[in-house]
Amino acid sequence: MDKYSDLPTTLTAPAREAAAIVPSDGDDLASLPRAIFVGTAGDVAVTMAGGQSVTLRGVAAGSTLPIRVRRVLATGTTAADLVALW
């Protein structure tokens, strides 16, 4: 039973869905996540929802990045086990 199923999913609510991210220099994610979980430490190169490109350096393993991105780039991303959260 889910006591919270009738509540709206907001950016501050816990994620309800997740999917592995395969970094790509040419393909956007199917849907913009509201956060990214980083399983293995490293750098995460992304294209933000607003179109800016940035590399987040030295992200620790187990971090959850509260960022909305359209693409996780293969070039420049050394972190692994990335998971999109919705």
Q: Does residue 1 form part of some domain? A: no
More confidently predicted of 2 and 25 = 25
How many whole angstroms separate alpha carbon 58 and alpha carbon 1? 39
Whether 57 is covered by a domain: the verdict is yes
Query: Does a structural domain hold residue 25?
Result: no
Does the structure show a pLDDT above 90 at 48? yes
10, part of any domain: no
How does residue 11 score in pLDDT terms, banded at 50, 70 and 90?
A: confident
Mean pLDDT computed over every residue of the chain: 95
Examine residue 50 and state whether it is found in any structural domain, yes or no: yes
Structural domain for 58, as ranges: 33-85
Number of domains in the chain: 1
Give yes or no for a contact between 74 and 26, defined as CB atoms under 8 angstroms apart: no
Q: First-to-last CA distance in the chain?
A: 20
Q: Is residue 38 part of a domain?
A: yes
Residue 6 resides in a domain:
no
Q: Is residue 26 part of a domain?
A: no
